[in-house]
Amino acid sequence: MLPAAAAYYLPWELQCAGVQEGESVRTFGRLTCYKQDKSTATLTAQHASKDHHVVINTSLVEPFHPIIGAQYLVVGETETAAGVDMMVRARVLNCVDGVNIPLLQKAIMEQRSFFKEREGQQNAT
């Protein structure tokens, strides 16, 4: 059985948006750290002059050839791990270096608005 369609979460929302363990998510960030021996990577994004880190389990996407400093998009499921509040077990981890991040954020917000409006119309009928 396939997992549920992944919802976009901005990196700073993953810790505080009430994301449940096992939920399918999509997020992005700049690769700042990769530990091959532990199969983990760290994506970082800046919001409101604060760095937000997302730990990624890369065991399902290896061999993984990291480009430190490049932008990555990840699709996977959330899980808890020792020493980390929330980790994403990556099913897809793509380098998207060159993507206009503010435009991506705007697109995510527009998509949320569309889905919310569509849901409201369906509930009204």
Parallel, antiparallel or unpaired: strands 24-35 and 7-8: parallel
Higher pLDDT, 120 or 24: 24
The pTM for the full model equals 0.85
Residues 6+ apart with CB under 8 A from 75: 6, 24, 25, 26, 90, 91, 92
Q: Where are the domains positioned within the chain?
A: 7-124
Q: What is the tens place of the pLDDT at every residue in 72-94?
A: 999 999 998 777 778 999 999 99
Percent of the chain with pLDDT over 90: 53
DSSP state of 37: G
Confidence band, pLDDT 50/70/90 cuts, at residue 18: confident
List beta partners, residue 77.
24, 89
Q: What is the tens place of the pLDDT at every residue in 38-82?
A: 999 999 998 888 999 999 999 999 988 999 999 999 999 999 877
The CATH number of the domain covering residues in 7-124: 2.40.50.140
